[in-house]
Amino acid sequence: MSELAMTALLLVALLALLAGGLWVAFSLLAVGMAGIFFFSSAPLGSVMATTIWGASNSWALAALPLFIWMGEILFRSRLSEDMFTGLSPWLSHLPGRLLHVNVFGCAIFAAVSGSSAATAATIGKISMPELSRRSYPTTMMVGTLAGSATLGLLIPPSIILIVYGVATEQSIARLFIAGILPGLLLVGLFMGYVIIWSLLHKAAIPADHETTSFAQKIKRSRRLIPIVLLILGVIGSIYAGIASPTDAAAVGVLLALLLSWSSGTLTRTSFLDGLRGATITSCMIAFILAGAAFLTVAMGFTGIPRLLATWIATLNLSPHALLAVLSVFFIVLGCFLDGISVVVLTTSVIMPMVEQAGIDPLWFGIFIVLVVEMAQITPPVGFNLFVIQGQTGINILRVAAAAIPFFLLLLVALLLITMFPTIVTILPDMMKG
């Protein structure tokens, strides 16, 4: 059988298993087993055992459950309420007023959760009722929440960047630092859009008759200070080289527990619920990573990645043309799979092409996260859309339509980091230096 026919057969098998509802990890393992058994002479049992153990026995992977647990703890605290109370006095004078709370709230929570869906759920839980009560336009309420929640995938500590770093053997600390400026760029783009829209539709934004003194603003924002210090402590310690991502995650969990306890929200039930939620999510991701590692090795034995990389080379695509093709591929794939599955499914096949084209793997990590962010607000399986639909009861097509401007802004950010790659690389290079 030719390598092209073998590639097509394994791809069809993988898609059939996923479409049939089999867990992503089991699908990856099954296709990897089929690849080795039918298309190579490698010892299946030995390869599977050593690969899965090697993928699980990674110190870098230890940061994953800790950051997830930190997000779970703060998710069950009063963080979302504190953020609305603390941010609203400062943002009420900007065009768009409290719509900016969704943008800033998502950016802050993204820096402590690392999850897009958790960011949408947490910020939406408190901001949507408050904005509805003040008669803000539904389209902008939903759009700003759906778009800004995607920051959970990019702003460190990002779960998907940890997954990418483990899967491609890139430095997680450098990936975290690389995500800072693109994250701030997105915050600026989202704010700019809200300001322009509000200036064009002044009648749609309710007037704010509340006057707040500077002292009152400080008083209402005081609960935000510990959260900001937590974020700066976790990211700053990594950037300064004081702590590894795993060390910083452990400190983050301890500080999150202290913050939750000081706010009176840390109970036996909330503690156990947070621990249970972090365990379930971490096991799911670790299982997927193990399956993906095995599939990567299996594909290496079959020679498929080498074949695809050679084929791509024969097309004589420029790096920008390759990135355009990959963008469409990832967005389509992201319509049917969650972001973590997209990353682990594709790295074994995509990375040889990327390296052949001379594209920096660190920069490509941020690129792929931005594309996956776009898929988070793309139907039919945009997870942010489902989360917001569940909270508001609004038809998912209306939610998707409200998110379109933010999808386009993500595309603008993608073009900007492609035209000016130093947006991604300047901070990691400074850190390296």
pLDDT in tens, 156-199: 878 888 888 888 888 888 998 899 899 999 999 999 999 999 99
What mean pLDDT is predicted for residues 46-52? 85
- Which amino acid, 369? V
Structure tokens at 206: 């309710």
- CA-to-CA distance for 164 and 157, rounded, in angstroms? 13
Q: What are phi and psi of 404, to 5 degrees?
A: -55, -45
Residue of higher predicted confidence among 321 and 378 = 321
C-alpha span between 166 and 149 (Å, rounded): 24
Q: What is the mean pLDDT of residues 44-56?
A: 82
Indicate whether 433 pLDDT > 70.
no
In this prediction, residue 411 carries a pLDDT of 92
Q: CA-based angle 7:9:15, to the nearest 5?
A: 100
Length of the chain: 433
Token pair of 50 as six digits: 């050593």
- Does residue 60 have a pLDDT over 70? no
Residue pair 120/403 in contact by the 8 Å Cβ criterion: no
Contact 238, 246 (CB under 8 A): no
pLDDT band (50, 70, 90) for residue 379:
low
E-strand ranges in 333-382 read none
Lowest mean pLDDT among 295-304, 317-326, 411-420: 295-304
Distance (Å, whole) CA 278 – CA 62: 12
- For 66-102, the pLDDT digits (tens) are 878 887 887 777 766 777 777 777 777 788 888 888 8
CA angle 374, 64, 382 (to 5 degrees): 20
DSSP 8-state secondary structure symbol assigned to residue 207? P
pLDDT digits (tens, 9 = 90+) for 101-147: 888 888 887 777 667 777 777 777 777 887 888 888 888 999 998 88
DSSP state of 170: -
Report the chain's mean pLDDT, rounded to a whole number: 81
- pLDDT (0 to 100) of residue 272: 92
Who contacts 244 (Cβ-Cβ below 8 Å, separation ≥6)? 63, 173, 238
pLDDT (mean) for 320-332: 83
Predicted confidence band of residue 405 (pLDDT cuts 50, 70, 90): very high
Longest dimension (CA), the chain: 76
Given pLDDT bands bounded at 50, 70 and 90, which one contains residue 365?
very high
For 233-258, b/e burial (b = at least 16 CB within 10 A) is bbbebbbeeebbbbbbbbbbbebbbe
* Cα 199 to chain centroid, rounded: 31
Please give the single-letter amino acid code of residue 317.
L
Q: Percent of the chain having pLDDT more than 70?
A: 90
Q: Where are the alpha helices (DSSP H) in 41-179?
A: 44-56, 63-75, 79-91, 99-113, 116-133, 138-149, 159-168, 172-178
Which pLDDT tens digit goes with each residue over 278-297? Answer: 888 788 777 877 887 787 77
With 90 as the cut, is the pLDDT of residue 335 above it? no
Report the alpha-carbon distance of residue 249 to residue 245 in Å, rounded.
6
Cis ω for the linkage preceding 157 (within 30 of 0): yes
**210 pLDDT band (50/70/90 cuts)?**
low
Rounded to an integer, what distance in angstroms lies between the CA atom of residue 403 and that of residue 425? Answer: 29
